[in-house]
């Protein structure tokens, strides 16, 4: 019996959804592996699927049933229109963080500035800033050696010159910075049960969770930034959607002479803090 791409993938998607998983993930994976965009999918969807391709879908289905994120199966994710390698040692870059980068770029021109990205992970923030502001001197820090190795590979593949340092927050930074930016760990242990199973099982815990109701790293950034931020410098932070006022208070106390503002993401959730 002849089976088409759409028949097999629709069946796989329905199976995943019946098991409480994200049904679209199998189509996302398959199109990525075939290097097909939506137009190519529409052109080919009713063609006969090969036995090899069916086996590939079955294997991906088994991994998705184990809650392995599709990006880890592919080994990459796109961020700011560029492809970044991801591994189990790095968080998967997310659209909300693209909004943080976009906000930083919108508030800063092409003039040369010194910038540090705290907890760089894949290097997505640091590399994206450097690609869009070539005159900036960008340093990226992370406490994880393994994450830094991935970030360095991404910087090299995207032909950006970035300084990488292993550092617990800003401990390895000695020069004053014009911009401090970070998507730090901000999930509290109390929120563990609310997390998606794939995130809890496979993404690195040190990049996700923070003590003191998820505020510990913000407190550390605020404390260490006071001596490292230039007088006209700015801080850009991603936050949990319920943390806006708590993080605002932390940085207003640290920087009483600066404006500390909460910015929302496209879903109208509090998502970013700017100190300016």
State yes or no: 95 annotated in a binding site: no
Give the residue among 32, 21, 17 at the shortest CA–CA distance from 77.
32
Residue 98: CB atoms within 10 A of its CB come to: 19
DSSP designation for 257: T
Contact (Cβ atoms closer than 8 angstroms) between residue 77 and residue 71: yes
Alpha-carbon span 74 to 86, nearest angstrom: 9
Contact 236, 180 (CB under 8 A): yes
Strands 260-264 and 76-79 come out as unpaired
Positive or negative: CA dihedral 103, 104, 105, 108: positive
185 is in an annotated binding site: yes
Q: Given the structure tokens 């401090």, which residue do they identify?
A: 180
Q: Is 123 annotated as a binding residue?
A: yes
Beta carbons of 262 and 245 less than 8 angstroms apart: yes
Cβ atoms 177, 229 nearer than 8 A: yes
- The answer on whether 119 is annotated among ligand-binding residues is yes
Contact 270, 244 (CB under 8 A): yes
Is 122 annotated for ligand binding?
yes
CA distance linking residue 195 with residue 159, whole number of Å? 35
User: Residues annotated in the binding site for S-adenosyl-L-methionine, as ranges?
Assistant: 119-123, 142, 183
Binding-site residue set: 119-123, 142, 183-186
**Which residues are annotated as part of the binding site for substrate?**
183-186
């Amino acid at each position: 019996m002849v089976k088409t791409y759409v028949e097999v993938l629709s069946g796989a998607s329905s199976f995943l959804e019946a098991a409480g998983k994200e049904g679209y993930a199998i189509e996302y994976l398959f199109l990525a592996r075939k290097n097909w965009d939506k137009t190519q999918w529409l052109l080919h969807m009713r063609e006969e699927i090969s036995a090899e391709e069916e086996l590939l879908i079955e294997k991906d289905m088994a991994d998705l049933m184990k809650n392995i994120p599709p990006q880890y199966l592919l080994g990459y994710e796109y961020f700011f229109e560029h492809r970044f390698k991801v591994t189990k040692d790095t968080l998967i870059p997310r659209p909300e963080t693209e909004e943080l980068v976009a906000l930083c770029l919108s508030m800063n021109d092409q003039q040369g500035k010194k910038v540090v990205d705290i907890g760089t992970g894949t290097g997505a923030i640091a590399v994206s800033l450097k690609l869009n502001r070539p005159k900036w001197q960008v340093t990226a820090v992370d406490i994880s050696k393994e994450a830094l190795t991935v970030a360095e590979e991404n910087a090299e593949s995207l032909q950006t010159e970035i300084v990488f340092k292993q550092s617990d927050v800003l401990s390895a930074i000695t020069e004053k910075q014009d911009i401090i930016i970070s998507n730090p760990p901000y999930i509290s242990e109390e929120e563990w049960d609310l997390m998606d199973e794939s995130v809890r099982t496979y993404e690195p815990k040190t990049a996700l969770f923070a003590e003191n109701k998820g505020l510990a790293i913000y407190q550390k950034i605020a404390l260490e930034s006071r001596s490292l931020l230039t007088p006209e410098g700015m801080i850009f932070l991603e936050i949990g959607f319920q943390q806006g006022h708590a993080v605002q208070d932390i940085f207003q106390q640290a920087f009483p002479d600066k404006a500390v503002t909460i910015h929302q993401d496209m879903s109208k959730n509090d998502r970013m803090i700017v100190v300016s």
